[in-house]
Amino acid sequence: MQPDASRPTPAALPYSQLPPAYHRWKWQVLLAYAGFYLFIYMGRFNLWPTAPLVKHDLGIDHQTLGWINALLLWGFMAGDLVHGRLGEMYGLRLWVMLGAIFTTVCNWIASFSFSVMSLAIPWFFNGFVNAACWSPGISLLAQWWPRRERGRALGTVGMAAGGAMLVMWLVTGWVGQQFGWRAAFRYPPLIIGVLGVLFFMLVRDRPADAGLPEYIEEDELSAHAEAGSAQHRHGLEPFKRLLSNSQFMLASQVKGLENVVRYGLTTWVPLYYFEAAGLEIKTMLLSTLALPLGYALAPLCAGWISDRLLRSARRPMVILSSAVSALALFGIALLPPTNVVAGMALLLIGAFAMSLSPLAAMAVDLAGRHLSGTASGILDAHGYFYAGLQAIVFGLLLNMSGANWPMVFFIMAATRVLCGILISFVKA
């Protein structure tokens, strides 16, 4: 399926009139990216399941661990602000590959840490380079998948991201338990670099690069966004357009608040069951599998419901996600930590509900395909700014309160309620 450079690119066509080769390519692009992303968390969030080991080896407390996590997340935030735009300018698949390779390098450097600073600094840069694997990839998918099917496409990626959490939890947790946290930072991330190169070879940035026609966006919301952005696709103009869009910026705040809970759970739940319930590392890892499992199962369902039953409306799914996850978090806060079985059930429900939220698709819908990389980056940057903030705030609260875990889960539940209220003002 190589492009024929001798032929001019065909004119854009309505989606229903695109040739069979186009649809084969769109699936190849989607499945290649989803397959790549299934392993990406082994080089991004591998500190979380190994946190008890790192905490003991380097002699650090909750607050310091929170700061290290925050630096990773804020490094990712900084990367989000630039990589989406740079990918649009210099090559989407190239930027994903570079992000994968440099993620492997940063993980190896971090594995030789002997102090807080020698871990924190490469961990910040790891977040920055790893961000190149996200917004350029979302932009690449937007070139092939119009709004009418975008929910399912990004839902597939969301399922891969949830599956990545599960893969990371199992592989990193096992390697850390058997060989130590340093081995967990060295060997699983090698897979990421290899898959990044394979991804570059298998995909093309746009249909035109494969000698195929582009689709004509027929959905009113995204078509209007694309028409409005036609004169704002150069230099810093995409940032100016998106940052002045009140609907997009409100959705970005919701994404940030959502990540307070999504990454708050993955940051602190392992330590919660390790310390409050007294579980051993192996038992803790197995018990908390409900969290990544819930993250993996929901996104495809959300995308299908949004595209098929709600005619690509995203807001109702975000409201449903907020309500159900808030109830689950209230339940976890009230439940004794020693009741592990009930806790796992609530974690599964809460994580599943969290991932019903199709905010990534909403951002692309509001921006249109041509600004989708920049839009995905800005949205995700808000998410990681808030995610880093929660790591510091919850770490500080746990230190000051003598590890008052119910308070943490009550705050998370209230945050989800706020998400549901704010998203009701976004028309998408």
User: What is the mean pLDDT of the segment spanning 5-29?
Assistant: 85
Report in angstroms the alpha-carbon separations of 278 from 58, 73, 170, 272, 286. Answer: 21, 28, 20, 9, 14
Q: In this predicted model, which residue has the larger pLDDT, 358 or 97?
A: 97
226 has a pLDDT exceeding 70: yes
> For residue 408, which of 338, 329, 311 has the smallest C-alpha distance?
329
Radius of gyration of the chain (CA): 21
User: What is the mean pLDDT of the segment spanning 11-20?
Assistant: 91
Q: In this predicted model, which residue has the larger pLDDT, 11 or 408?
A: 408
255 has a pLDDT exceeding 80: yes
**How does pLDDT run across 47-82, given as a tens digit for each residue?**
988 888 998 899 888 788 888 988 998 999 999 999
**What band does 8 get if pLDDT is binned at 50, 70 and 90?**
low
Q: In this predicted model, which residue has the larger pLDDT, 409 or 389?
A: 409
Q: b vs e for 318-337, b when ≥16 Cβ sit within 10 Å of the residue's Cβ?
A: bbbbbebbbbbbbbbbebeb
DSSP state of 215: E
**What band does 230 get if pLDDT is binned at 50, 70 and 90?**
low
Q: In this predicted model, which residue has the larger pLDDT, 271 or 200?
A: 200
SS3 216: strand
- 164: tokens are 């990545």
User: What is the mean pLDDT of the segment spanning 336-340?
Assistant: 86
Domains contained in the chain, CATH given: 22-216 (1.20.1250.20), 236-427 (1.20.1250.20)
- The helix (H) or strand (E) run that includes residue 13 is strand 13-14
83 has a pLDDT exceeding 70: yes
Average pLDDT, the chain: 90
User: What is the mean pLDDT of the segment spanning 152-177?
Assistant: 90
- 92: tokens are 């989407």
What span, in angstroms and rounded, lies between the C-alpha atoms of 114 and 206? 45
- The whole-number pLDDT of residue 3 equals 45
Q: In this predicted model, which residue has the larger pLDDT, 339 or 2?
A: 339
Kind of pairing between the strands at 13-14 and 215-216: parallel
419 has a pLDDT exceeding 80: yes
- The whole-number pLDDT of residue 6 equals 45
Q: In this predicted model, which residue has the larger pLDDT, 11 or 342?
A: 342
4 has a pLDDT exceeding 50: no
280 has a pLDDT exceeding 80: no
Which has the minimum average pLDDT: 176-185, 241-250, 308-317?
Answer: 308-317
What span, in angstroms and rounded, lies between the C-alpha atoms of 215 and 68? 44
What span, in angstroms and rounded, lies between the C-alpha atoms of 115 and 241? 43
